[in-house]
A = this chain, B = another copy of it.
Amino acid sequence: MLSDPFSHLPTTACRTIDMQKGDVLFRQNQTTSGLYRVVFGSVTLQRSGLGGDTLTLHRAVSGGLFAEASVFSATYHCDAICTEAGSVIKIEKADVVATMQSNLAFSEGFTRLLAVQVQQYRAHIELLAIPSAKERILAAVHAGYFDATVTELATRINLSHEACYRALRGLCDDGRMIRVGRGKYTLS
């Protein structure tokens, strides 16, 4: 049921790539060559607006996939940048396309992956519609978004980092969260 669909790919389809913090795996508008799985470390998918402001679309950690939709797109739609050193497995687009056409189990597994993504994005859009900063943060923490820095969380949920720190403190004052250390908070 939840077995890894990528086990159906030929071994030549995958290539391990080591990465250092700040490394760019691909950039917006580049021709797509494949999708990726994080082995360890972390990668953020981001787009830079016309100003210098960056928007985090997704953050992939160990075991996570990213750029799945690139298989059906000519160019990447965002930048992929390493935020914690580690390694990723690159899966060649051509192999994915070929295997999809020859292997039903792979095809179904890959489709399921995309369906899950669709639901995650819908949930994210719903989260972004929460007007209050405190409630939005609480929802984000419940959804497991707060797995890195406060600053990173802030960019993901459309808040300034100042507002994010303040709201976190407010939640602690309310007794709804607990500060367990510098930059570390948990649900109470």
**When chains A and B are docked, how far (Å) is the Cα of A147 from the Cα of B114?**
27
The answer to the question of A94 belonging to the interface, with a C-beta cut-off of 8 Å to chain B, is no
Which chain B residues lie closer than 8 Å to A104 at the CB level?
100-102, 104, 107
Q: Are A126 and B57 in contact (CB under 8 A)?
A: yes
The answer to the question of A184 belonging to the interface, with a C-beta cut-off of 8 Å to chain B, is no
Which residues of A from 138 to 162 have beta carbons under 8 Å from B? 158
**When chains A and B are docked, how far (Å) is the Cα of A123 from the Cα of B28?**
13
Which chain B residues lie closer than 8 Å to A101 at the CB level?
104, 108
Which chain B residues lie closer than 8 Å to A68 at the CB level?
115, 118
The answer to the question of A137 belonging to the interface, with a C-beta cut-off of 8 Å to chain B, is no
Which residues of A from 47 to 62 have beta carbons under 8 Å from B? 47, 49, 55, 57
Q: Are A158 and B128 in contact (CB under 8 A)?
A: yes
Which chain B residues lie closer than 8 Å to A115 at the CB level?
68-69, 71-73, 114
Which chain A residues have a beta carbon within 8 Å of chain B's beta carbons?
47, 49, 55, 57, 68-69, 71-73, 77-78, 100-102, 104, 107-108, 110-112, 114-119, 121-126, 128-130, 158
In the A-B complex, list the 4 residue pairs whose CB atoms are closest, starting with the nearest: A121-B121, A114-B114, A72-B115, A69-B118
Given A55-B126, A68-B115, A69-B122: 8 more A-B contacts, CB < 8 Å: A47-B126, A69-B118, A77-B122, A78-B122, A101-B104, A114-B117, A118-B118, A129-B158
A-B contact pairs, 29 of them (CB 8 A): A49-B130, A57-B122, A57-B125, A57-B126, A68-B115, A68-B118, A69-B115, A69-B116, A69-B119, A69-B122, A72-B112, A72-B116, A73-B119, A77-B123, A78-B122, A100-B104, A100-B111, A101-B104, A102-B104, A104-B104, A114-B114, A114-B118, A117-B118, A118-B121, A121-B125, A124-B125, A125-B128, A128-B128, A129-B158
